[in-house]
Amino acid sequence: MTLLDEIRTGDARTAGISTSHASAERAAPAILSPAPAVSIAGALNAALRDALAADSNVVVFGEDVGPLGGVFRITDALHAEFGEDRVWDSPLAESGIVGTAIGMAMYGLRPVIEMQFDAFSYPAFEQITSHLAKMRNRTKGRVTLPIVIRIPYAGGIGGVEHHSDSSEAYWTHTPGLTVVSPSNPADAYSMLREAIESDDPVIFLEPKSRYWAKDAVELPVHTAPMTRAVVLRAGTDVTLLAYGPTVKTALHAAELGAEEGLSVEVVDLRSLSPFDDETVGASVRKTSRAAVIHEAAQFGGYGAEVAARVTERQFFHLAAPVLRITGFDIPFPSPKLEEHYLPTAERVLAALDTWEW
C-alpha cells in the first residue's frame, strides 16, 4: 500500500502521520479524490434508496417501477433491495395509483408514486386536484397527505404527444400543491429527499431530456431549500427565468449573449409553486429586464403568471415588458418537428433583440 493509498483509507498511523495532524488526514481524501460524475437519474435513484432506508413508512409504487426499475430506470434495483412490500408495480390505472396513495397516506405511510410519462397523469387529474390538494384544508389541518408524485415531463426525447407534455400550469394553478422541478443532479437528490420529508403533497417534475446530464457530486448532498430559486449565473443586463429543461437553454443563451457583449443573469426557479419573489425580485431590480423560458405552449401558460407577478411587484424597476419564450400554441409535434418547437438559445436572443435597448 502506498502512502497515497493509506491516506485515502484514512489510516494515519500506518501512513506515518502523527495524531496531531489528524485534521490534515481527514481533509486529504476530499482533495485527492474528486467527486464522482452523477446523472440526474442516478441522483434520483440514490435519493429514493436513501429515503427508503431512512424511513420504513416510505413506499414506492407505479407502473413498471418494480423489477424493471421504471421506464427511465429511476427505480432501478430498489425492488430487489427493499422487497415487494416497499417497492411494487401498480395496475395501469393512474387514478387508482393516486387514490391508493391518498388512502395509504391517511394511515401514516409516505407514498412516492411515478406517473411514467407527463400526460399519463391526466386520468388522475380529478384525484389530484379535488382530493389530494384539498384534504388538509377540508379537514382543517387534521389530515395531511405526505405524497410525492414524480412526473417525467417535457420534450426533447422524440416522444410525441402524451410523452412530451409540460403540464406545470395545471398543477401550479391548484392551491394545496407544491410544484418543483430540478435541473441538475445535486438538486435532484436534495429536492427529492426534501419532497419526501414534506407533510404535504409535492408534484415533482423531472425533465426527462436531462436525465442523463452529469455533474461531479458527492452524495448525499443538501442544496438550497426546494422552495427557493437560485442565481446560477450573475449578470447585469437581463434576467432569464428558467426551470427544469430550459435552464440549460438559458445558460446557453447567456454564453452566446456574452459573445455579443450582453451580460445575462440566469435564475433557476426550482420551485414553481410557491414562487420565490424575493430572489427573482432582487435579480430584476438589478437588471431591469426579464424574460421567462418554458417548453409549454404560451397562451395561458406558466410564463403568463411569472410575467404578471414580476410586472406587479417590480413595475417601477422595469425598463421593458417581461418577455415569454415558449413552445408554440399547438399540440406537441412529431419528433421530426420537435427541434423547431422547443425554445432554443437562438430564439431567446432573438426575443431579447425585440426590446429597444
**Catalytic (active-site) positions:** 163
Helix axes 302-314, 277-287, angle to 10 degrees: 70
Q: Which residue has cell 391508493?
A: 100
CA–CA distance, 36 with 287 (Å, rounded to integer) = 36
C-alpha angle 131-69-147 in degrees, rounded to nearest 5: 20
Instruction: Give the start-end residues of each E strand in the chain.
Output: 37-39, 58-62, 87-89, 110-114, 148-153, 178-180, 202-207, 214-216, 230-233, 238-242, 264-268, 271-273, 290-297, 323-327
- SS3 at position 4: helix
C-alpha angle 102-75-275 in degrees, rounded to nearest 5: 60
Which one, of 95, 100, 93, 147, lies nearest residue 126 by Cα? 95
CA–CA distance, 325 with 344 (Å, rounded to integer) = 9
Q: Which residue has cell 430584476?
A: 284
C-alpha angle 356-242-256 in degrees, rounded to nearest 5: 55
CA–CA distance, 53 with 6 (Å, rounded to integer) = 31
Burial 204-222 (b: 16+ CB within 10 A, else e): bbbbbbbbebebebebebe
Supply 204's cell numbers: 415533482
Q: Which residue has cell 393516486?
A: 98
Contact by Cβ (8 Å): 69, 76:
yes
Contact by Cβ (8 Å): 200, 144:
yes
